[in-house]
Amino acid sequence: MALMGDKAILLETDRFMDAPGVRRVLDAPYTADSCAETTGRTVGDSAADALDAGFADAGIDPATDTTTATAQAEEEARHRQAAEAGSAESMSVLGALLLRRGDLDAAEPYLRAATGAGDRAAANNLGVLLHQRGYPDEAAGWWRIAAVAGSAAASHALGRHYRERGDEPAAEYWLRQSAESGHALGAYALADLLEHRSDVGSECWFRAAAEQGHREAAYRLARILDQRAPHRRESGRFGPGAGPRGAADLEGDGSLLAAGPLLGAPGTAPDVPSDADRRTAADEAEQWYRQAAARGHRRAALHLGTLLEERGEPQEAGRWYLTAAKDGESRAACALGFLLRDAGDTDSAAIWWRRAAQDGDGNAANALGALHADRGEPQTAERWYRAALDAGDVNGAYNLGLLCAGQERTSQAEQWYRRAAYAGHREAANALAVLLLQRGDSAGAEPWFSKAAEAGSVDAAFNLGILYAGRDDERSARQWYERAAAAGHTEAALQVAIALLREGDERTAERHLRCAAGGGSPEGAFRLGALLERRERPEEGDGGTTECEEWYVRAAEQGHRRAQVRCGMIAAFRGDVAEAGRWYRTAAEAGSRNGAFNLGLLLAREGSEPEAALWWTRAASAGHGRAALRLALLSARRGDLAEAQHWCSQAVDFGPAEVAERAARLRDALQQELTA
């Protein structure tokens, strides 16, 4: 068994590990290996082991050593013989061996004898023994003796002792003594204490411990640097089902049509890192994640995998997720499942999600629920959503609401939405409000919309705009539309643009229309095209494409009928009859009366008057006055005066004014002809 010098090894460092952002008050309990030291002249003292945070970190089994059992027995016998001959050094080494073995009764007399002879290491190890026996005050006394004599391990143990008792000044003093002596555990414990107090000096001590191979320090340092790096999406995988994956797989936009700055101290300006500093921090964070992950730190492997996936390196990310998942990190198993799903391997994804869900990962349970819901297995989906809820993931209740709503189980959906909404789920609050509004309870819906919007739901802000617009409260509606538009809601941006166009502010309206059109709104693309067309009318016969036409085409390809008609008109203006006919026909077949009328004109010019009449009839039947007038003229030329008179009457009724006037004159003439 490798014995320890002043640089002590801490077993089970994972006891220190909490979720990022959770502060610790106390360090791990003392163990024989956390503070024990020897004279440093014994066989098997490993510097590499002493630099690590524990046997598990170094990959060494505490029950074995590189030396054979026979060699160990011979070494122990030699030290025992020397100790019986009065060698203080051998007494100290033999006491440390017995202490590590857990034989406290046999170790104590040797350690006391060596301590009486002035052996510093024995004094420290005697403190460890007494602490294990439940005598912390006596242990602290021996640690103090060893620490004053220069033992960094004893200073570390004494610092932890004082911290456990809430004496932070004394703890900091002794931990600093240990850290400044080059003790990796002392540096880590000091950094942990300083971070608990939000002292910026913690970073340099985490770095000092990490540079000596302390894996938890490397991980903590990486987390600090990661917070300083450019913003990365991180909540979806690590939070309990709160991110864009998992529960969000079932989230719709929740709209009715189907849904802050950091403050510093007053008077102070925050020190904002430059982009170069952020990139440097990101690179360094990755380096420390790699070091900790390579030494078996599963959470470092998880974060490293996330970093690599976001950087577009899924294969290496998957390897680190797999490493962490095999070590029992349920969030890594969940993330690996998402990676496999994105690669199209849903069966393997389900295996890892199930493993994570069985370990209590609500995000994975939600993902399994979404998978089974997509497969048409609502009962299995419901079971996993309930498991997510039991694991404390409120998205489980929200997804149960969505599942019930999809099955038209409205009352159950409302119950689940309410449960999630009362727990602070903003999209559940929005969905509940939509449900109430659909039931006609606008008074009950409004407070839930407001609660969701104030919590950051963009859909809820947009829905409040619709609610106030329905009450003719344009001012309040505009405020909520603008708020949703600022957060990137495309339909809200469109509504703001329409209001600005009514006010004549085309420049600002154009900016909002570009946001709406760029976000996929066909109406936004059409209106942007119309705005630009007023500035850049195409030349007749010009074969080039203007920006307005590009937006018309984008809207037309999304099925916007008026945009399809405009594309046809621009093509006809340029002389491209075939392209014009294609767009007119597309619009007409989708129900556009203008498209049907224009297609009829095109066909009539090409000599296909019978087919033109069919499209004009379709347009006139939909209320198109000009199409009705064309049919009246066509019937009159054929000699069917009664039919012509019928279409004239239709044209008079449909308008517009100039068409109605012409149709009325034609009708009167036809009447005279009939009565002549």
SS3 sequence, 103-159?
CHHHHHHHHHHHHHCCCHHHHHHHHHHHHHCCCHHHHHHHHHHHHHCCCHHHHHHHH
Cis peptide bond N-terminal to 109, omega within 30:
no
Output phi, psi for 574, to 5 deg: -85, -5
pLDDT tens-place string over residues 55-91: 222 222 333 344 477 888 888 899 999 989 889 999 9
- Which pLDDT score, from 0 to 100, does residue 232 have? 55
Asked if residues 317 and 347 have their Cβ atoms less than 8 Å apart, the reply is no
Question: What 3 state SS string does 210-230 have?
Answer: HHCCCHHHHHHHHHHHHHHCC
CB atoms within 10 A of CB 439: 12
Asked if residues 366 and 382 have their Cβ atoms less than 8 Å apart, the reply is no
- Which pLDDT score, from 0 to 100, does residue 279 have? 75
Q: CA-CA distance, 318 to 272, in Å (whole number)?
A: 33
- Which pLDDT score, from 0 to 100, does residue 27 have? 30
Output phi, psi for 492, to 5 deg: -65, -40
Asked if residues 362 and 241 have their Cβ atoms less than 8 Å apart, the reply is yes
Q: Say whether pLDDT at 249 is over 50.
A: no
Structure-token pair, residue 50: 């002493």
Assess if CATH 1.25.40.10 describes domain 13-199.
yes
Comparing 533-537, 562-566, 626-630, the range with the smallest average pLDDT is: 533-537
Q: CA-CA distance, 537 to 348, in Å (whole number)?
A: 56
pLDDT tens-place string over residues 474-514: 999 999 999 999 999 999 999 999 999 999 999 999 999 99
pLDDT higher at 9 or 576 = 576
pLDDT tens-place string over residues 277-336: 667 888 999 999 999 999 999 999 999 999 999 999 999 999 999 999 999 999 999 999
Comparing 38-42, 81-85, 352-356, the range with the smallest average pLDDT is: 38-42
Q: CA-CA distance, 157 to 183, in Å (whole number)?
A: 11
Closest CA to 620 of 583, 659, 672: 659
- In this structure, the dihedral spanned by the alpha carbons of residues 69, 72, 78 and 82, taken in order and rounded to 10 degrees, is -140
Asked if residues 306 and 237 have their Cβ atoms less than 8 Å apart, the reply is yes
Residue owning tokens 């007119």: 584
Asked if residues 319 and 349 have their Cβ atoms less than 8 Å apart, the reply is no
Structure-token pair, residue 140: 């602290």
Question: Chain-wide mean pLDDT for the chain?
Answer: 83
Mention every residue, 6+ apart, whose C-beta is less than 8 A from residue 390: 396
Asked if residues 178 and 153 have their Cβ atoms less than 8 Å apart, the reply is yes
Task: Give the Å distances, CA to CA, from 591 to 253, 413, 602, 631.
Answer: 27, 36, 17, 19
Instruction: Determine the 3-state secondary structure of 40 from DSSP.
Output: coil
CB atoms within 10 A of CB 655: 16
- Which pLDDT score, from 0 to 100, does residue 246 have? 36
Q: Say whether pLDDT at 45 is over 50.
A: no
pLDDT tens-place string over residues 109-122: 999 999 999 999 99
Closest CA to 65 of 38, 46, 40: 46
Tell me the whole-structure pTM to 2 decimals: 0.71
Q: CA-CA distance, 165 to 41, in Å (whole number)?
A: 34
Q: Say whether pLDDT at 172 is over 90.
A: yes
Letter for the amino acid at 519?
A: G
- Which pLDDT score, from 0 to 100, does residue 69 have? 78
Structure-token pair, residue 148: 């004053």
Asked if residues 568 and 580 have their Cβ atoms less than 8 Å apart, the reply is yes
* DSSP assignment letter at 42: S
Asked if residues 158 and 144 have their Cβ atoms less than 8 Å apart, the reply is yes
Q: CA-CA distance, 9 to 293, in Å (whole number)?
A: 19
Confidence of residue 267 (pLDDT cuts 50, 70, 90): very low
Q: CA-CA distance, 189 to 158, in Å (whole number)?
A: 11
CB atoms within 10 A of CB 111: 30
* DSSP assignment letter at 243: S
Q: CA-CA distance, 209 to 180, in Å (whole number)?
A: 11
Half-sphere exposure of 504 (CA within 13 A, CB side): 0
Mention every residue, 6+ apart, whose C-beta is less than 8 A from residue 54: 9, 10, 11, 12, 13, 33
Q: CA-CA distance, 530 to 547, in Å (whole number)?
A: 10
Domain chopping of the chain, boundaries: 13-199
- Which pLDDT score, from 0 to 100, does residue 277 have? 66
Residue owning tokens 């070091």: 291
Q: CA-CA distance, 320 to 296, in Å (whole number)?
A: 11
Comparing 87-101, 134-148, 245-259, 480-494, the range with the smallest average pLDDT is: 245-259
Number of residues assigned to the chain: 676
- Which pLDDT score, from 0 to 100, does residue 539 have? 57
Query: What's the gap between Cα 493 and its chain centre?
Result: 24
pLDDT tens-place string over residues 417-442: 999 999 999 999 999 999 999 999 99
Mention every residue, 6+ apart, whose C-beta is less than 8 A from residue 146: 120, 121, 123, 124, 127, 153, 154
Average pLDDT over residues 338-344: 95
Asked if residues 300 and 219 have their Cβ atoms less than 8 Å apart, the reply is yes
Q: Say whether pLDDT at 456 is over 80.
A: yes
CB atoms within 10 A of CB 442: 14
Average pLDDT over residues 247-254: 34
Q: Residue 299: left (phi > 0), alpha (psi -120 to 50), or beta?
A: alpha
Q: Say whether pLDDT at 16 is over 80.
A: no
Q: CA-CA distance, 490 to 249, in Å (whole number)?
A: 20
